[in-house]
């Protein structure tokens, strides 16, 4: 495999993660944000005049929730195959995916918990739902003897409260579901050690890789869309990460 980007312990591969993951070395942590299977084909939210339009058809194939959930379960399983015996997984996911991903991880002998990102400014709701999207879910799966750095720190809640990116904010890139740095970085800090390697099989705009770089971890990202590989590579080349909580 020829990396799309490879510098200072951070590597990007362009392609289908299901094809690339089996060739990767053993890693220490998986942190990923796969498609949630919540897109509505052709839909967009039009708000107040001058506030822009939010596309709700996020990613190709994401409106077929059965097929997308099947793909995500397969890919997350392949990523877990690369984990060390004490490595953990964080997978942000849609409400339809949380239960099946938890079952998959528990079948591997891992324990599971969930985390919530509570958004200070919820994005608009899908058509007809009536409820703005004020929270996102994350499955946390871990083995006995896991790496965990928070034992000597004050108790941390499983709810992370942070703003979401909006058009025109510093650090916003052309990706429909870009995660804030402050939602990803604490997970990496809590469940890996300096110099260890994080894998993100659904890299998107590269937030996991950039967070890993900034807190002294190595990282491998995989992304099927080349335009997002380019965006991630540019973010990694920046001296300072600008953005929410960056």
Q: Are 242 and 178 in contact (CB under 8 A)?
A: no
Give the model's pLDDT for residue 223: 96
Mean pLDDT per block of 10 residues along the chain (246 residues) reads 96 98 98 74 49 53 74 96 98 93 98 95 70 90 96 80 67 68 94 98 94 97 95 86 49
Give the model's pLDDT for residue 168: 52
Question: Which helix (H) or strand (E) element contains residue 198?
Answer: strand 197-200
Q: Domain extents for the chain?
A: 8-237
Give the model's pLDDT for residue 198: 98
SS (H, E, C) 15-44: CCHHHHHHHCCCEEEEEECCCCCCCCCCCE
Alpha-carbon torsion angle 101, 104, 105, 110, nearest 10: 140
Q: Are 28 and 147 in contact (CB under 8 A)?
A: yes
Domain formed by 8-237, architecture? 3-Layer(aba) Sandwich (3.40)
Give the model's pLDDT for residue 43: 47
- 44, β-bridge pairs: 55
Two tokens, residue 210: 């950039």
């Amino acid at each position: 495999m020829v990396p799309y980007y490879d510098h200072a312990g951070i590597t990007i591969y362009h392609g289908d993660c299901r094809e690339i993951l089996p060739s990767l070395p053993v890693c220490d942590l998986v942190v990923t944000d796969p498609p949630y299977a919540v897109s509505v084909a052709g839909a967009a939210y039009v708000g107040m005049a001058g506030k822009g339009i939010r596309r709700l058809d996020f990613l190709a194939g994401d409106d077929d929730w059965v097929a997308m959930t099947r793909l995500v379960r397969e890919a997350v399983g392949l990523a877990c195959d690369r984990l060390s015996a004490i490595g953990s997984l964080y997978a942000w996911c849609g409400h339809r995916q949380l239960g099946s991903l938890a079952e998959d991880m528990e079948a591997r002998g891992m324990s599971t918990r969930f985390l919530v990102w509570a958004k200070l400014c919820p994005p608009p709701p899908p058509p007809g739902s009536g409820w703005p999207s004020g929270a996102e879910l994350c499955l946390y799966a871990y083995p006995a003897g896991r790496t965990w750095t928070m034992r000597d720190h004050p108790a941390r809640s499983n709810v992370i409260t942070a703003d979401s990116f909006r058009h025109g904010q510093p650090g916003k890139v052309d990706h429909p579901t870009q995660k804030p740095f402050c939602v990803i970085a604490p997970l990496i800090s809590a469940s890996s050690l300096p110099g260890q390697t994080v894998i993100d099989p659904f890299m998107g705009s590269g937030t996991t890789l950039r967070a890993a770089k900034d807190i002294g971890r190595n990282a491998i990202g995989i992304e099927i869309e080349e335009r997002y590989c380019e965006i991630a590579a540019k973010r990694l080349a920046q001296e300072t990460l600008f953005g929410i909580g960056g």
